Amino acid sequence: MTRIEKADLPQGVQHPLEPLTADEIKTAVAVLRDEKSLLKTVRFVSVVLQEPSKDYVHSFVRGGQLLREAFVVLFDNGKNQCFEAIVCLADKCIRSWKHVPGVQPTMTADEQIECEQAVLESAEFQAACRRHGVEDMSLVMVDIWTAGHYGAQEESNRRLARPLCFVRSDPTDNGYARPIEGLRPVVDLNEMKVLRVEDYGYVPLPPQAGNYRADRVKNLRKDIKPLEVTQPEGPSFEVNGHQVTWQKWDLIIGFNSREGLTLHNLSYQDGSRKRSILYRASLSEMVVPYGDPGPTQNKKNAFDTGEYGMGQCANSLELGCDCLGHIKYFDAVMTNSRGELQTIKNAICLHEEDYGILWKHTDRRHTQPEVRRSRRLVISSISTVENYEYGFFWYLYQDGTIQFEVKLTGILSLGALAPDSKTKYGTMMAPQLYAPNHQHFFNVRLDFDLDGAANSVYEFNVKGEPKSDTNSYGNAFYAQPTLFKTEREARRRLKLETGRHWKIVNDHIKNEVGDSVGYKFIPGDNCLPYAAATASWRKRAGFVNHHVWVTPYQADEKFAAGNYPNQHKGGDGLVKWTQKNRSVADTDVVFWYTMGHTHLPRTEDYPVMPAAYIGFLLKPAGFFTSNPANDLPPSPKAVKSGGSSCCQ
């Protein structure tokens, strides 16, 4: 059986970018309670590391004195007010405290639980359920959807939720198969009470079950043989606290309640040089807009990072299910909204996996082919946001390639239709049950320090050269580079016709042939938003307007839709920052990438959805002198049962 190592909470922090420990979080909470005499109406939305300045991190020497501070977001339900605090952990004092007017921070996990209970206990909601043929309230499911901002006054002066409701046929039934179509309660989260129940008319419950659990599926397959992944000598990676070294890679693994998994100080050992590539990489924001204009569905959209917190939705991963191989797990430590310590066991999985052939060549003049197998390091975390699961996977390869991949799975957010009805805004999954069309947009923030902080971004468009005296056969084509000088120039979209891609370079450092060292950004599958530019969610998610954005580094510019997208009117984040049109050439740049997945559901996505994939690649392009994986040793040959050997 594959082995598992358990990563205990670090006793002593090794690096200034490691996540806060349990003791540090306790200290931050205690200091705030003591110095601010916090009332019971105050919730701790998040307690995370206040990352120190880049100068401090770059000058840090292991074993030296650590600067450790906590950044805390609090919300007072009694006053409907948000506050931010920075707590110095060594001195146990508040370094800064400020009120942030007119915003709604991320909804906490506690609020979701309390909101569901408030809805179930509401007499108005119970009466509405009876009108819709639901009698047993113990079987009702309430998914907490944020309210957004559609111009109503209450969206500016109340903390709201607009849940969706479903009903099970028994306690272990898949309730999503039976939406209570037409009912949407509106809840004041400050008072934790139902303000009203919006009733858009009776639609019968879909008649069929849609179960997927192993104990409810008949005739499970019996023809699957065991597949074991073993590393008898242990893994090739080493872990010290949250610092990981593998092959020639070195990085810090981070985690926080909003972004979830983050990577820091990513570097590659190139001969005698340790070369920096990325200072910080993270999921900045994501939004899931739905495309059904019906009254129950038309306000469905979710900013899963800024409104729900991808980190606080993280799963406890299981060996053999979520990860295979020799695993190193990391726990995620945070608080609930009452400031009590909360630990998500095994929130991050670290392991190696075989990835087929890395390179191979057979010279017909020699009898022995040369082949090297690819191995990659996998750093992953999976979060559940009500019905959907999102797996976030960072892959590091032996040839210097970096890959990010999101795996989308879980259960579709479903709606009900009257018997014999269909809709052009979705796909029928079962009788009277349909899945609305929707999209998923992810924005990833890549803070480059490519061989130093002074970097530039070039766009490349491939052009065919007209037939001429120097191109007599008309076969010539070339890649035309364009340097981004300002932020507005760098607002860009993909263009298939020209093979558009981007390259992040350091023009101060040249490779052996005199070109600037760099990394090529290679997009994967993508799309554009289909909602009108005036749609409420698009005003708040301006980052979807372009696939690429480039900004000069600012420590407080971390989230593509702004710090507080929940119930925001819009226009914050990248849209606002890039209006300044700051210089982005030969400076400390941040590259932001928006990738979208258009989901036109299939019947095969029901009752639970096979994973869909979306992501991108960062490949060295002139960064190394030659193939950095040329020094890999030959792959050992495996002996087949017949006695012959195989090198594939």
The CATH code of the domain at 237-449+518-560+589-620 is: 2.70.98.20
Model confidence at 642, pLDDT cuts 50, 70, 90, reads very low
Q: Which two tokens stand for residue 40?
A: 């019971």
* Residue 97 pLDDT exceeds 90: yes
pLDDT average, residue stretch 397-403: 98
Q: pLDDT at residue 405 above 90?
A: yes
Closest CA to 410 of 608, 174, 212, 601: 608
The model carries a pTM of 0.95
Give the model's pLDDT for residue 286. Answer: 98
Q: List the domain boundaries for the chain.
A: 4-100, 109-216, 237-449+518-560+589-620
In DSSP notation, 542-579 reads: GGGG-SEEEEE--TT---TT-S--TT--S--THHHHGG
pLDDT value, residue 638: 64
CATH of domain 109-216: 3.10.450.40
Q: How far apart are CA 535 and CA 545, in angstroms?
A: 12
Per residue in 348-368, pLDDT (tens digit) is: 999 999 999 999 998 888 878
Query: Among the listed ranges 6-20, 325-339, 422-436, which one has the minimum average pLDDT value?
Result: 6-20
The mean pLDDT of 115-121, rounded to a whole number, is 98
Range in 293-302, 321-330, 563-572 the model is least confident about = 321-330
Q: What is the per-residue pLDDT for 11?
A: 52
**Confidence at residue 4, expressed as pLDDT on a 0 to 100 scale:** 37
What's the pLDDT band for 639 if we cut at 50, 70, 90? low
Kindly give the residue spans of alpha helices, DSSP state H, lying in 334-380. Answer: none
Q: Which residues are marked as active site?
A: 304, 388
Q: What is the reported pLDDT for 640?
A: 54
Q: What is the mean pLDDT of residues 13-40?
A: 96
Q: What is the mean pLDDT of the segment spanning 273-293?
A: 98
**pLDDT confidence of residue 411:** 98
Q: State the pLDDT at residue 1.
A: 31
Per CATH, 4-100 and 109-216 having the same topology is answered yes
- In this prediction, residue 373 carries a pLDDT of 93
- Asked whether 254 and 242 are in contact (CB, 8 A), the reply is yes
SS3 of 497, please? helix
Burial string for 325-349 (b: 16+ CB within 10 Å, else e) reads bbbbbbbbbbbebebeebebebbbb
Reduce the DSSP state of residue 349 to 3 states and report it. strand
Specify the CATH number of the domain 4-100.
Answer: 3.10.450.40
With 60 as the cut, is the pLDDT of residue 477 above it?
yes
Name the band, by pLDDT with cuts 50, 70 and 90, for residue 325: confident
